[in-house]
């Protein structure tokens, strides 16, 4: 989602949620007796990489003033959590102010979160994911992949994040809006504002496996299926969720995200009496997308107000048709982000109380049922979360992102010609 200050991440039964710069860790989150850990990040040396000169120094020359960097806002824009193979420790990665990558090490046994490294990345980083490489020796190496507004995806070695960056691919100056890797990291998926999803081999990303073409507007999110590893879903400002065969680029299914809503991709007319179509398209920028690794259910949250659930069945998307009462229960307190855990529980973060809620999803009964989370750990989390005032930069961030998504639009037909001639 966009600029809410709220993030979710999960590894096995460990659930991590961030609110501004506070990290909450719920261990054994799916059990009756979870444990709560709380940490502050981006404090002190890791929180301030640049400072502004005082008044006397700032008055020394206008030229010097113009080149001074603004103080860091420490606004987190992307979060990744994973457990390196053979390690008892978890890696928490934060993309900060669109230009810094910060690595923390989470030790559940010692109950510590330690800053390991921080480095600059190319300005205007938009998203990130983590891929891995299996070496002939059997060792697994990890790589942080960062997408940029300039259209490039760069690789940052892990855990030695201070080493040189490597450019993996470029999208001909088209903003990369989201990145993902498939289940075994053999393929890298990069979505862009020019309606296309590029599927490249990894790590040899210069080799293009396919283009998934069919969206009529900028892509917003992509998510790979674990149950059917050859399939991927994507969302777009064109108001659709699409299912693709990733190695061929074949479009298998398409579903409307907001039924009955007409979407306009023309520039917003601030003076128009009714510009609901453009406002609807703008709301479709703000999307959270997740695929259950156990049941193949796809959940999509749009702009805190709408949620849709589908099941990937063979090569189609089947609407789960969850009851309106259950849907309204999930939507009641401004949900920010949703994510399936490895055991099939849907975790949802909120702007308001209860701040975090778990749901079970039943395909058979078409029910979305809250999981009882009245343990001391969840109660303590909610007590602290209630004291944190989220920084509200959502509208500003949406305006900036929308402006970037409207520029330098490429035609899908041109990409069809390119692919056909390759």
Cα torsion through 170, 174, 178, 184, rounded to 10: -30
Instruction: Give the per-residue pLDDT at 245.
Output: 98
pTM: 0.86
Same domain, yes or no, for 322 and 221? Answer: no
Same domain, yes or no, for 152 and 257? Answer: yes
Same domain, yes or no, for 231 and 162? Answer: yes
Same domain, yes or no, for 135 and 212? Answer: yes
Instruction: Give the per-residue pLDDT at 57.
Output: 37
Instruction: Give the per-residue pLDDT at 303.
Output: 92
Q: From 263, 297, 315, give the residue that closes a domain.
A: 263
Task: Compute how many other C-beta atoms are within 10 angstroms of the C-beta atom of residue 89.
Answer: 15
Is residue 98 domain-resident?
no
Same domain, yes or no, for 206 and 147? Answer: yes
CATH code, domain with 241 = 2.130.10.10
Is residue 349 domain-resident?
yes
> How far apart are alpha carbons 70 and 248 in whole angstroms?
45
Is residue 2 domain-resident?
no
Along the 422 residues of the chain, how does pLDDT read in single tens digits? 455 789 999 998 899 999 999 999 999 765 667 899 999 999 875 554 433 233 333 333 333 344 444 445 788 999 999 999 999 999 999 999 889 999 999 999 999 999 999 999 977 899 999 999 998 998 999 999 999 999 999 999 999 988 888 999 887 678 999 999 999 999 999 999 999 999 999 999 999 999 999 999 999 999 999 999 999 999 999 999 999 999 999 999 999 999 988 887 765 555 555 566 667 778 899 999 999 999 999 999 999 999 999 999 999 999 999 999 999 999 999 999 999 999 999 999 999 999 999 999 999 999 999 998 878 999 999 999 999 998 765 555 555 555 555 544 434 344 344 444 44
Which range of residues forms the domain containing residue 135?
Answer: 121-263
Same domain, yes or no, for 249 and 356? Answer: no
Cα-based angle 201, 203, 207 (whole degrees, multiple of 5): 35
Is residue 383 domain-resident?
yes
Written as one string, the DSSP assignment of 166-231 is: EEEEE-TTPPEEEEEE-TTSSEEEEEETTSEEEEEESS-TTSEEEEEE--SS-EEEEEE-SSSTTE
Least Cα distance to 266 among 276, 253, 256 occurs for: 276
> How far apart are alpha carbons 362 and 251 in whole angstroms?
27
Same domain, yes or no, for 238 and 290? Answer: no
> How far apart are alpha carbons 75 and 42 in whole angstroms?
10
Is residue 8 domain-resident?
no
Positive or negative, the CA dihedral 370, 375, 381, 387 is positive
Same domain, yes or no, for 220 and 335? Answer: no
Helix (H, G, I), strand (E, B) or coil at 366: coil
Is residue 9 domain-resident?
no
Is residue 220 domain-resident?
yes
65 Cβ neighbours under 8 A, 6+ residues apart: 58
Instruction: Give the per-residue pLDDT at 391.
Output: 75
Same domain, yes or no, for 210 and 335? Answer: no
> How far apart are alpha carbons 43 and 26 in whole angstroms?
22
208 Cβ neighbours under 8 A, 6+ residues apart: 198, 199, 200, 201, 422
Instruction: Give the per-residue pLDDT at 264.
Output: 73
């Amino acid at each position: 989602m966009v600029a809410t200050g709220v993030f979710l991440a999960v590894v096995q039964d460990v659930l991590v949620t961030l609110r501004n710069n506070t990290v909450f860790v719920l261990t054994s989150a799916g059990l009756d007796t979870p444990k709560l850990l709380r940490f502050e990040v981006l404090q002190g040396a890791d929180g301030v990489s640049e400072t502004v000169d005082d008044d006397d120094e700032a008055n020394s020359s206008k030229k010097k003033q113009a080149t001074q960097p603004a103080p860091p806002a420490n606004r987190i824009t992307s979060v990744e959590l994973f457990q390196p193979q053979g390690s008892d420790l978890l890696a928490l990665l934060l993309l900060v102010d669109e230009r810094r990558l910060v690595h923390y090490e989470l030790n559940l046994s010692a109950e510590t979160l330690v800053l390991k490294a921080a480095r600059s990345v190319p300005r205007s980083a938009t998203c990130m994911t983590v891929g891995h490489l299996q070496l002939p020796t059997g060792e697994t190496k990890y790589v942080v992949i960062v997408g940029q507004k300039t259209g490039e995806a760069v690789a940052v070695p892990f855990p030695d994040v201070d080493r040189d960056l490597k450019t993996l691919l470029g999208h001909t100056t088209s903003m990369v809006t989201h990145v993902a890797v498939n289940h075994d990291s053999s393929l890298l998926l990069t979505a862009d504002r020019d309606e296309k999803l590029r599927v490249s081999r990894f790590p040899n990303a210069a080799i293009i496996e396919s283009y998934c073409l069919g969206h009529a507007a900028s892509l917003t999110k992509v998510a790979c299926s674990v149950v059917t590893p050859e399939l991927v879903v994507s969302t777009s400002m064109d108001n659709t969720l699409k299912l693709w065969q990733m190695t061929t680029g074949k479009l298998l299914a398409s579903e409307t995200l907001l039924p009955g809503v007409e979407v306009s991709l023309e520039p917003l007319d601030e003076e128009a009496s009714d510009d609901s179509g453009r406002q609807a398209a703008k709301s479709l920028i703000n999307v959270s997308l997740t695929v259950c690794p156990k049941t193949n259910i796809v959940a999509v949250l749009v702009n805190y107000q709408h949620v849709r659930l589908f099941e990937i069945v063979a090569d189609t998307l089947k609407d789960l048709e969850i009851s309106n009462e259950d849907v309204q229960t999930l939507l009641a307190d401004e949900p920010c982000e949703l994510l399936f855990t490895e055991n099939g529980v849907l975790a949802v973060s909120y702007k308001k109380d209860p701040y975090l809620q778990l749901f079970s999803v039943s395909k058979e009964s078409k029910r979305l049922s809250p999981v009882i989370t009245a343990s001391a750990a969840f109660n303590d989390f909610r007590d602290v979360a209630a004291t944190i005032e989220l920084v509200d930069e959502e509208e500003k961030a949406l305006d900036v992102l929308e402006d970037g998504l409207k520029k330098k639009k490429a035609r899908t037909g041109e990409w069809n010609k390119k692919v056909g001639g390759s």
